[in-house]
Amino acid sequence: MKKIFLIVLLILTIFPDLYAQKASRQPAKVAELIAQFRGEWSCKGAFTKDNRPLEASITFTPAMEGKALEYEHKDLPPNSFHALGLWNVDSASNTLTYTFVSTLKGSKEANSRYFVGNVKDTKTLVLTADTLAAAPFRENRYVYEIKSKDEFKYQWQVYADGIWNTGDYLNCRKTL
């Protein structure tokens, strides 16, 4: 899994302009917004289709001398989603990018994904799936909304029939 993640990061380092063309420009202070996520978070929410409960732990750790945030998301049993990634502001385009590797219970391989960030305002960050070598299974995005210095809301959304639909959500509280 680490090998795949490093290959993806290498591709993005060598060819950053491939993705910068599609990305919307970000405000100069985007690094300050993502810094608000640093720490450990305990999250509770649900899958919206059937209101099945969902709990996760999410950790954001400064990486690369503070130039990036390492991200780890682990669903708690009975769910099995697990993702590792990096949030980084690309210096050439001033665009937030998110590269991650994820697994689900029963998966034989890890899946790599690449997301391009869009800061809606000083409290809302939207990370929309972009392509690496193949399109994502469907158009999807993550929405992070800061509620306070100790709380944020996370939503995974899928685009269908001309609208964004929430597949699951988590309300997160800082624990460390």
Distance from CA of residue 29 to its chain's centroid? 19
Burial code (b: 16+ CB inside 10 Å, e: under 16) for 67-77 equals: ebbebebbbee
Residue 115 tokens read as 């997301």
φ, ψ dihedrals at 53, nearest 5°: -65, 150
CB 29 within 8 A of CB 152: no
51: which DSSP letter?
-
Assign residue 161 a region: left if phi > 0, alpha if psi is -120 to 50, beta otherwise?
left
| Residue 38, CB-side half-sphere exposure with 13 Å CA sphere | 12
CB 132 within 8 A of CB 115: no
Residue ranges and CATH numbers for the domains of the chain are: 2-174 (2.40.128.20)
Report which residue type is found at 160: A
Nearest CA-CA partner of 59 in 44, 45, 41: 41
Q: What is the pLDDT at residue 6?
A: 36
**What CA–CA distance (Å, rounded) separates 176 from 37?**
11
pLDDT digits (tens, 9 = 90+) for 126-147: 888 876 655 556 788 999 999 9
Distance from CA of residue 64 to its chain's centroid? 18
Q: What is the pLDDT at residue 144?
A: 94
> Does the structure show a pLDDT above 80 at 159?
yes
In which residue are the tokens 């158009």 written? Answer: 139
pLDDT digits (tens, 9 = 90+) for 22-79: 334 444 457 777 788 999 999 999 999 999 999 999 999 999 888 889 999 999 999 9
Q: What is the pLDDT at residue 1?
A: 45
| 48 or 10, which is more confident | 48
Structure pTM? 0.77
